[in-house]
Structure 1
Amino acid sequence: MALPASSAQAATASTQIDQALRQHLQPALEREARQLGWQQPRLSLDLSLPASVEQLPACSRTPHAQSLSGRQELLARQRFRLSCTQPQWSQDVTAQAKVSVLLLVARHTLDRDQALSAEDVKIERQELARHDRSFFGKVEQVIGQTAKRRIRAGQMLTAELLDAPLWVRRGQSVTIVARHDGIEASTLGEALANGREGEIVRVRNRSSEKIIDAQVIGDGVVTSTWR
């Protein structure tokens, strides 16, 4: 992209290098945002420029940026070669891309096995670390999920910290559904452990006082088979 004469005169090589690298990294930023669901990403650069850059004349057009790093991860520290055709020069630089996004954090302390509601979370802009991939950008993604362990106020919510909703809680009254040869019957029981969808929990049948293993199939519903 050619620069107007006035812009080229006002620009410096260092600002042009910064602009060229931002343009070079923008497609990667947009690709990551689409694939990972980043909300309103913003890109900044931590540039390591040698002192000799101050002696370079401004380029008549945006310099061409070429990555010199084998593995081109957006958030990895990389080396680039910037080339100008008029006047002719090239310069190698090191740059660290930094990306901030809108993501969910705990509004207050969350206890283990606590089910999350919209009031338990808030959206904040935070800078991402290189391996941050499993965070959440939308409130509806975490509603009903439960905390695997205690989460402090302001902590980023990630998939590693949350679990599927608890459909059965220890001490809760549950419906035991039994099926056999097309016949279905139900009775009341008491859950002796917490359980999520598909998990097997111990349940006490309130009619017989017998303790059975039952699979969680719904909110407050477990299933067993006659033997």
Structure 2
Amino acid sequence: MASASALSDPQFDLEVLSSRPAPPCAKPVEVDALDTRQPARMRFVARCPAGKGWRQDFLVRARISAQVAVTAAPVGANQPLAEADLALERRDITQAPDAIGDLALAVGQSPRRSLRAGEILRSGQLAAPLVVKRGDQVLMVARHEGIEVSMAGEALDAGARGAVVRVRNAASGQVVRMRVAGAGTVEPVDLPVSRR
């Protein structure tokens, strides 16, 4: 979880919940995870390989905290986030597995709903801002080996950078699928993504 979310300085506090202590074992106890999907309620099994041995199940509760992005002030829905809107704070993220640990991953994104000051930013709350809206006049640009061809079109779908949208060619009326390259610009889906 910590590495997948690019969390900064994660800390884990574990509490073993058991009704009885494990009996002694003459050899090192073997421990295997049974279910670790929910940090607040993980299941492990401990086995003693010595003699007749024994097996005992344990519940383990984890509390996870890390430096994560939070809103520094209230932010409206669909308003692109600026660096001034964000702060890094240590928070309990046990119930927020998609918390964002790097401010750069949130800057420029837009929250799907209004956020209060101090709210943890989660990747599921954010979307890339729409740079092409349905009905916008767009420039259809194709670049290949130093040759560039462009023509006017009309976006039939809205999309963020990198999204595939339908575009009507203004000259021919033909509808084609294009990738959003930037504000008011689309490019053919079958060409490599433009870095310009």
Please, what TM-score do these two structures have when normalized by structure 1? 0.53
| SS of residue matched to 2:2 | helix
Distance 1:45 1:65, change over 3 A: farther
Q: Return the alpha-carbon distance in structure 2 between the equivalents of residues 101 and 183 of structure 1.
A: 47
Q: Return the alpha-carbon distance in structure 2 between the equivalents of residues 96 and 113 of structure 1.
A: 36
The answer for the alignment partner of 2:104 in structure 1 is 140
Deviations 1:83-109 (A, max 9, x none): 9xxxxxxx9865422121111122222
Superposed displacement of residue 161, structure 1:
0.9
Which structure has the larger Rg? 1
The answer for the alignment partner of 1:44 in structure 2 is 13
Superposed displacement of residue 123, structure 1:
1.2
Deviations 1:102-128 (A, max 9, x none): 111222222222111111111121112
| SS of residue matched to 1:34 | coil
Superposed displacement of residue 140, structure 1:
0.9
Residue correspondence of structure 1 range 1-227 to structure 2 within 5 A:
32-48=1-17, 66-67=30-31, 70-72=34-36, 75=39, 76-78=41-43, 94-129=59-94, 132-168=96-132, 175-177=138-140, 184-186=149-151, 194-196=158-160, 197-200=162-165, 215=178, 216-222=180-186
Conserved? CA contact 2:93–2:99, under 8 Å = no
| SS of residue matched to 1:144 | coil
**Structure 2: which amino acid aligns with 1:156?**
I
More strand by share: 2
Distance 1:218 1:168, change over 3 A: same
Deviations 1:13-32 (A, max 9, x none): xxxxxxxxxxxxxxxxxxx5
Unpaired stretches in structure 1, ≥5 consecutive residues: 1-31, 54-63, 84-90
Superposed displacement of residue 137, structure 1:
0.4
Q: Return the alpha-carbon distance in structure 1 between the equivalents of residues 141 and 38 of structure 2.
A: 54
Conserved? CA contact 1:67–1:78, under 8 Å = no
Please, what TM-score do these two structures have when normalized by structure 2? 0.60
Q: Return the alpha-carbon distance in structure 2 between the equivalents of residues 44 and 178 of structure 1.
A: 53
| SS of residue matched to 1:160 | helix
